[in-house]
Amino acid sequence: MTTPGWWAMALCEAVNDKTPLAVAFAGEELVLFRNAEGQAFALEDRCPHRRVPLALGRVVAAGLQCGYHGWTFDGASGRCTQIPNLRTNEPVPPRYAARAFPVSEGNGFVHVWLGEGVPDIDLPTDDYRPVGQQFTGSTIVNMSHEQYLAAMLDGPECLLNFAHVRMTDFFLGDVRKEHGRLVLERGAVWTTQILPSNFVVDYPLIVRTEVPVQGGSIRVDLLSEDETPLISLAIASGANRRGTTSLCWRGFVHAEVPAKAPLRWRTARVWHKAPFTVNSLIDGSAVAALLEAPSRDLHAARPPRLIPVSAVV
Amino acid sequence: MHAVPSTNETTTGEAPARKLRGDWTPINYDLRDTWFPVSHSRDLCARPIRRIIHAQPYYLWRENGLPIAAEFHPQRSKGEALHLSEFTGGSGFYPVVERYGYIWAWYGNPDAADPLQLPHIPFLPEDGNIPGYTQRTVRFDATSALSVENLIDLTHADFLHANTIGDGISESDVVEVEWTSETVTRTRTVAQKSVAPIMRWVGGVRAKYQDFRAVLHIHLRSNVCISYPRFRPGYDVPNLQPFLPVGKHRSRCDVTFNTTAAPAPFRYVMPRINYIIQPQDNSVVRPQNQRYFEADERLDMHSRFDKPGTRYRYQMEQLAERQAAGQFAYGSDAEPGRDISGLLGMND
């Protein structure tokens, strides 16, 4: 089964015209790079000559040059444009090509279209509208993608933290579907609060997690009790090899400061300290202890497998 | 100036029948009834050492100075019931021969073992009397056939090893391929190529360009690669690179570079060049290996510079098919032990 779609695979600043970037998302191993004009390209990370990863090569004026024999591939079409030692008047057969994938940059992410069909105009990160300083990162976590998405609904505290905030597992309503994502909210409290969260009448904070029904674009927001956004994150996720998950993310702090925000939160904000952490190391015992709850809706809503079958250029 | 393609192929083999080619899956090849050089002679003493050919254990040691190859450890297995295989005919001991500074052990039906089938290596003394500096051991992170393919592959050397061996720029570059049912021989004749950096900086060759003729003779069953490069101005650098198949994913190479006729320090440095080249090769063959586990719908693309490699693939496929059909005997065109001095160009 093929479910076409855009996958955010890298931060824009991580892709350059010097060193190719290997990424693995949704079971595809790709290599990203830019030309001298700054245009980003995505090729399958496999030279069609001897199957060596193209990410071991280097970016040259004509495209991406394989590190084994120097075959060079055009980023846009994937066509092999140069084979070392061929005479200058000797053409390379047109069918000699690496698989090329459509690329679209937006909202600070490099998106790659996987699957067949015509690429959409809309990008999955379009609802990420940062203001001010952004906090970014990327990692690979030791957890399968489907389980990562499920844990993002059942227990996001296992996967990420907001500074000076303690998430609770009291869900504020059921999972709802909005704009192609399953949305769930839960209560949260400031860590400076003396009383345990059980004694709170109304939670001062809300953590809203949005998990995609297709693709891998996760959205997480920290809201005040009146649902004013305080911190927003866009997390791009996708299946890497051996049951791991690739992640890259961007986040920012909104201008609003809640009236009851503790001093340490305000101070950290003034000093531009990172307002959140996306965990690279995940506590297996904490994940194992998560009871399956909202993620039941995810299993029902999300196609069991996304397998892109061919490149579309 | 650019390299000239391999237009002058010499074909001593019969024209293969046209048939639909499948994918190349070298990892699954397990060719039998052949001698493998499992160890340098100097590495063998009374204390047993272990080697592996495909998945078969080989324990090697000396008794009264003579090499022994067995499928059991002589000390650890005392008092235990031994599970002996068809590879030793139930005796537990493999046929073994010591020659050219190597211990050669038979892999296959022991009744078929014949020392006359040992490869002829004209640049190594039969009694193995050669200085220790000529011998080194390197390991490749790929199945043996991919390692051999890497060795026979010309253009990667110009590209991946340009800083050591030199680039591919020359006045003319002719590649010829010959083959039998058991061997593939590649001859590359290059005129006015940039002097190899190692020859310039260590070998004292001050010329800007040099001619060279490099012959690589490959025994398909055993992955024994006999190489005779001749550089002028410069030196002959005859070498033996036998790729021992240590399972499906790794290969071991006990190398001998007979540089005894070359001046110092080149004669000492050249045998160690594999410590530079091997990591470069491993950086590509290591990730390459996993992509040849199973037949892929997308076959590899080839340039005309890959003809030696594609011929090697084809001959290996033919040999594997014959063995899969139960035909282990050497073909009438195959004489593993024939004198190859002329073929290597040593007499020129």
Mean per-residue pLDDT, A124-140:
96
Q: pLDDT value at position A201?
A: 81
Question: Alpha-carbon distance B226 to B345, whole Å?
Answer: 12
Which of A214 and B106 is assigned the larger pLDDT? Answer: B106
B141 with B276, same domain: the answer is yes
User: Cβ B300–A53 below 8 Å, yes or no?
Assistant: no
- Calculate the CA A109 to chain-centre distance: 8
The answer to whether residue B336 is domain-embedded is: no
A chain contacts of residue B300, beta-carbon cutoff 8 Å: 48-51
Secondary structure of chain A: what % helix, strand, coil (to 5)? 15, 40, 50
Mean per-residue pLDDT, B242-257:
94
Domain that holds residue B167: 135-325
Among the partner-chain residues B5, B160, B168, the one whose CB lies closest to the CB of A68 is B160
The answer to whether residue B266 is domain-embedded is: yes
The answer to whether residue B190 is domain-embedded is: yes
The answer to whether residue B287 is domain-embedded is: yes
Strands A205-212 and A181-190: antiparallel
Question: Alpha-carbon distance A54 to A80, whole Å?
Answer: 12
Return the C-alpha torsion angle A121, A123, A126, A132, nearest 10.
-120
Smallest CA–CA separation between A60 and chain B, in Å?
14
The answer to whether residue B308 is domain-embedded is: yes
Tell whether the model's pLDDT for residue A1 goes beyond 50.
no
B232 with B177, same domain: the answer is yes
Chain B contacts in chain A segment 58-87 (CB below 8 A): 67-71, 80, 83-87
Q: pLDDT value at position B10?
A: 41
B207 with B91, same domain: the answer is no
Which of B12 and A209 is assigned the larger pLDDT? Answer: A209
Q: How far is CA B99 from CA B102, B104, B120, in A?
A: 5, 7, 10
Q: pLDDT value at position B6?
A: 36
Question: Alpha-carbon distance A125 to A42, whole Å?
Answer: 18
Give the mutation candidate from A29, A44, A51 for the B interface (greatest B CB count, under 10 A).
Answer: A51
The ipTM of this complex is: 0.85
Q: pLDDT value at position A304?
A: 61
B139 with B264, same domain: the answer is yes
Residue of B nearest to A65 (CA): B159
B151 with B209, same domain: the answer is yes
- Given CATH 3.40.50.80, say whether it is the number of domain A5-114: no
Q: Would you call A210 exposed, middle or buried from its count of C-beta atoms within 10 A (0-12, 13-18, 19+)? A: buried
What is the amino acid identity at position B264? Answer: A
Of the three residues B112, B127, B148, the one that is the final residue of a domain is: B112
Tell whether the model's pLDDT for residue B147 goes beyond 80.
yes
B83 with B214, same domain: the answer is no
A chain contacts of residue B305, beta-carbon cutoff 8 Å: 83, 85
User: Cβ B301–A56 below 8 Å, yes or no?
Assistant: no
Tell whether the model's pLDDT for residue A177 goes beyond 90.
yes
Q: pLDDT value at position B160?
A: 87
Q: pLDDT value at position B9?
A: 40
Mean per-residue pLDDT, B52-58:
94
A chain contacts of residue B159, beta-carbon cutoff 8 Å: 68-70, 84
Q: Would you call B318 exposed, middle or buried from its count of C-beta atoms within 10 A (0-12, 13-18, 19+)? A: middle
Mean pLDDT of all residues belonging to chain A:
92
Among the partner-chain residues B3, B160, B288, the one whose CB lies closest to the CB of A85 is B3
Q: pLDDT value at position B116?
A: 93
Confidence of residue B1 (pLDDT cuts 50, 70, 90): very low
Confidence of residue B8 (pLDDT cuts 50, 70, 90): very low
- What is the fold of A134-301? Alpha-D-Glucose-1,6-Bisphosphate; Chain A, domain 4 (3.30.530)
Q: Would you call B200 exposed, middle or buried from its count of C-beta atoms within 10 A (0-12, 13-18, 19+)? A: middle
User: Cβ B156–A69 below 8 Å, yes or no?
Assistant: yes
Mean per-residue pLDDT, A12-41:
96
In this complex, is the C-beta atom of A53 within 8 Å of any C-beta atom belonging to chain B?
yes
B73 with B139, same domain: the answer is no
Tell whether the model's pLDDT for residue A38 goes beyond 90.
yes
Q: pLDDT value at position B269?
A: 92
Q: Across the strands, what pairs with A89? A: none
Strands B96-99 and B224-232: unpaired
Among the partner-chain residues B159, B301, B302, the one whose CB lies closest to the CB of A70 is B159
Q: pLDDT value at position A303?
A: 67
Among the partner-chain residues A48, A84, A95, the one whose CB lies closest to the CB of B155 is A84
Q: pLDDT value at position B158?
A: 77
Q: pLDDT value at position B171?
A: 81
B222 with B265, same domain: the answer is yes
Q: pLDDT value at position A207?
A: 98
Mean pLDDT of all residues belonging to chain B:
89
B78 with B227, same domain: the answer is no
Q: Tell me the per-residue pLDDT of B301-342, one tens digit each, with 9 for 90 and over.
A: 999 889 999 999 999 999 999 999 999 999 889 888 999 999
* In chain A, where the domains are located: 5-114, 134-301
Task: Please check whether residue B231 is in contact with residue B196, taking contact to mean a CB–CB distance below 8 angstroms.
Answer: yes
CATH number at residue B63: 2.102.10.10
B187 with B312, same domain: the answer is yes
Domains A5-114 and A134-301 share a fold: no
The answer to whether residue B166 is domain-embedded is: yes
In this complex, is the C-beta atom of B188 within 8 Å of any C-beta atom belonging to chain A?
no
The answer to whether residue B223 is domain-embedded is: yes
Smallest CA–CA separation between A69 and chain B, in Å?
5
